[in-house]
């Protein structure tokens, strides 16, 4: 039901509906369309568009299909946040996403080196990605300082893999723009393909997991999808190199 292509087609407002549905799956099937719209802070028209993009004629059909989806596919959730992660894995368990990874591997192979870029938690994952790819045999390094100078030499024949949960961090956007100005290919890995980073990049892989922030604005969104994507790319790359 929640395929990668269906979720990727959702706009920003429709993603608010999706995020609420994923976090409140036990309640949604008993809510009216008005109640869902109010809870997600959108209009009923947005909810209807959301339903249609999931191949449902209307909200009534969505509720029926969603109830069946939960009964047939969803195990009991014991751990906080497990539902979001399970939904991600279900959305990428298809030939379409596998083909997206295959195409990305071809881009990596055509690049002389890979530069992983990120800040904060994404910076730590950039370091992990560079080490993982280096273990495979693909020359890679990482940059976790968004003010690091980008030069023609470092960008030449390189691929910058830019990691960002929101895809809206100004420092990362400026950094990605610098790579583009130096004619370096940019691949973004973000939570949604409608972000500014995804639109700026030459290629994008999105993972569609709701963002979570605690008091103070600190981001505690799960990074499991990012690790899965990096390791999947790495393993596919290893088969090509071998």
User: What pLDDT was estimated at residue 201?
Assistant: 93
What would the 3-class secondary structure string for the chain be? CCCHHHHHCCCHHHHHHHHHHHHCHHHHCCCCHHHHHHHHCCCHHHHHHHHHHCCCCCHHHHHHHHHHHHHHHCCCCCCCCHHHHHHHHHHHCCHHHHHHHHHHHHHHHCCCEEEEECCCHHHHHHHHHHHHHHHHCCCEEEECCCCCCCCHHHHCCEEEEEECCCCCCHHHHHHHHHHHHCCCEEEEEECCCCCHHHHHCCEEEECCCCCCECCCCCECCCCHHHHHHHHHHHHHHHHHHC
Residue 143, classified by CB atoms within 10 Å of its CB into exposed (0-12), middle (13-18) or buried (19+), is: buried
Per-residue model confidence as pLDDT tens digits over 175-197:
889 999 998 999 999 988 888 89
Mean pLDDT for 7-14 is 85
17-31, 99-113, 214-228: least confident range: 214-228
User: What pLDDT was estimated at residue 77?
Assistant: 45
pTM of the complete model: 0.68
Q: At what angle do helices 59-73 and 44-53 cross, to 10 degrees?
A: 50
Question: Is residue 19 very low, low, confident or very high in pLDDT (cuts 50, 70, 90)?
Answer: confident
Percent of the chain past pLDDT 70, that is, above it, reads 94
User: What pLDDT was estimated at residue 81?
Assistant: 60
C-alpha to C-alpha distances, 19 to 23, 106, 140, 217, nearest whole angstrom: 6, 32, 34, 18
Per-residue model confidence as pLDDT tens digits over 25-41:
778 878 899 999 999 99
Percent of the chain past pLDDT 90, that is, above it, reads 44
Question: Is residue 96 very low, low, confident or very high in pLDDT (cuts 50, 70, 90)?
Answer: confident
Can you say how many angstroms the Cα of residue 61 is from the centroid of all Cα atoms in its chain?
Answer: 28
Residue 86 has pLDDT above 70, yes or no: yes
**Neighbouring-strand partners of residue 213:** 219
Mean pLDDT for 122-143 is 94
CB 111 within 8 A of CB 156: no
Question: Is residue 88 very low, low, confident or very high in pLDDT (cuts 50, 70, 90)?
Answer: confident
Distance CA 93, CA 73 (A): 13
Residue 217 has pLDDT above 70, yes or no: no
User: What pLDDT was estimated at residue 73?
Assistant: 64
C-alpha to C-alpha distances, 57 to 63, 70, 131, 149, nearest whole angstrom: 11, 19, 47, 52
Mean pLDDT score across all residues of the chain:
87
């Amino acid at each position: 039901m929640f395929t990668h292509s269906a979720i990727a087609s959702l706009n920003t407002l429709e993603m608010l509906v999706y995020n609420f549905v994923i976090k409140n799956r036990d309640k949604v099937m008993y809510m009216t369309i008005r109640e869902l719209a109010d809870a997600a802070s959108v209009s009923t028209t947005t909810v209807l568009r959301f339903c249609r993009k999931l191949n449902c004629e209307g909200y009534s059909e969505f509720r029926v299909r969603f109830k069946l989806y939960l009964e047939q596919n969803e195990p009991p959730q014991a751990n906080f946040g497990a539902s979001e992660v399970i939904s991600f894995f279900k959305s990428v368990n298809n030939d379409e996403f596998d083909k997206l990874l295959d195409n990305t591997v071809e881009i990596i192979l055509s690049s002389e080196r890979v530069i992983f870029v990120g800040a904060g938690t994404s910076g730590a994952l950039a370091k992990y990605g560079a080490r993982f790819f280096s273990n495979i045999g693909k020359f890679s390094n990482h940059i976790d300082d968004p003010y690091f100078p980008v030069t023609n030499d470092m960008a030449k024949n390189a691929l910058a893999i830019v990691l960002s949960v929101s895809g809206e961090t100004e420092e990362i956007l400026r950094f990605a723009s610098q790579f583009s100005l130096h004619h370096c290919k940019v691949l973004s890995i973000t939570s949604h393909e409608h972000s500014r980073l995804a639109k700026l990049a030459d290629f994008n892989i999105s993972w569609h997991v709701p963002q979570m922030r605690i008091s103070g604005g600190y981001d505690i969104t799960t990074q499991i999808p990012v690790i899965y994507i990096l390791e999947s790319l790495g393993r596919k790359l290893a088969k090509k190199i071998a």
